[in-house]
Every structure is written in structure tokens, then in C-alpha cells.
Structure 1
């Protein structure tokens, strides 16, 4: 189960996430689902979101899943690499949800995959990423 204090600290410090209106749902079982509603500021064409918005959602969704695992040992995570496959455009007004699953946890690296669906549950994108674990105290000196 994810420590909600860690998620709240992440939400508070993630200025970029605030800027593009990323939202998080924390479910009772500790699962975290990220979502974004595509607005005018997210568009690359008159109707479709810029790929960078989807990439930001992917990085965040994957990263919060890795954080859910690493925080149990007092660690935070940083992105080592990630890949995204765009399968369908995210359109103006769409709400895109990212649902992640941790596939592998090592001593230092965590591998995560995620699917991204719109409000019709249509698959819009898939992504995978590798995250490095490092001590919480490297960033926050408590």
C-alpha cells in the first residue's frame, strides 16, 4: 500500500504536473491512477493533444507506480528511460486515464508498464519505463 503522505509530497512538489493539470486518484487498495482532461492548452492541432502531454502523463503514471514500491524502503525514484506508443489521438475534451502495473523490482531498478484509455475505455497509448531508486534523504533533509 502506498504511503499517502509521500504521494501528497510528490503532488505538492510536482510543479510541472500542476501546470498541465495532471490529477491523481488514490484508490482504497493503494493503487494510483493518473488522469488528465485534454483542454485547449494541451492541443497541437485544433482537436488533438500534443504528444508531449501524453508523454508527461506516461512518465508520471509510470513513475508514481514505481514510487509506490520504492517508498516502502524509504526511496524515491527518477526516470532512467521510458517508451510510449501512441495508438489513437487524445482529443479536446477527452479524459485520459493511466493505469500502471509494476513488472519487475530489482535492488536499484524498477520496470513498469501502463495503458492509457479515454472516457470510452478506448486504448489511446501504452508505455513502459525503467526507474532508479534512491534514498528519500537525498532530496528532503528531515
Structure 2
């Protein structure tokens, strides 16, 4: 037992004598992060109550809604998200979009006079919005 208690101070003295800096801490390697997932979708319509409604192609996010957007009767739309992300000219109904998607976002204070969309939808934020597919936007790898 006494031998073990004497070895610890000897080990510390040996490290000091060898020039080892005991104050230096280990730096964890950076954890690799996955690239953001590219989502595609089609603009259904801009609304007052729910912002721009986008029907997603390759995601399980969003919700199922029933609405008459075109005046031809109520239809069911699946995987629809509501966003107030500014889309500019890409906000036209039928436009195919490619983007990264994150849950959350805020709606501006609006006075909506008509029920132009389902209310109470979860808000999403669209980032890196483009009309170009994600594969076409990716930088070419160097060989």
C-alpha cells in the first residue's frame, strides 16, 4: 500500500523533469456534422393566415390539410408546411423549390380578414432556398 502512494508523487516529478506541461488540457476532436438535408417541395399558395404553404416531396415533416385553394373543391394535401420565409419570385403557386428545413419561425402581426388557409399550423423556416436542385448546387469534389 505504501509503495502505491509513493509512486504517484514520483510520476508527477518525472513528468515535470521531462518538460511536460501539466496545465495543458486535451482538445477533443471536432465532431463531424452531417450536411443539411436537402428538401424539395412545391409552393401551393401564399396566404395571410399561414404564410406560404409548401407541399414537401421527400420529407415526413408537415401536416395533412384539406382546403380548396383553386375553387374546384376541397382537396387533401399531405406533408404541407407553413413558412413566412421571404421567397420573392419563387413564391408563385406550382414553383418547385429546394431548401433546408427547420421547425420554428415566427409570423408577422397580421390582420387577416378571411379564412384563406388552415390556421394554427406549425411554422417552419426555409434556408438556402433555390429553384436549382441540391445536387446541381453542390461544389464539385477535387481529385
* TM, length-normalised to structure 2: 0.24
* TM, length-normalised to structure 1: 0.24
Q: Mark the structure with the bigger radius of gyration.
A: 2
More helix by percentage: 1
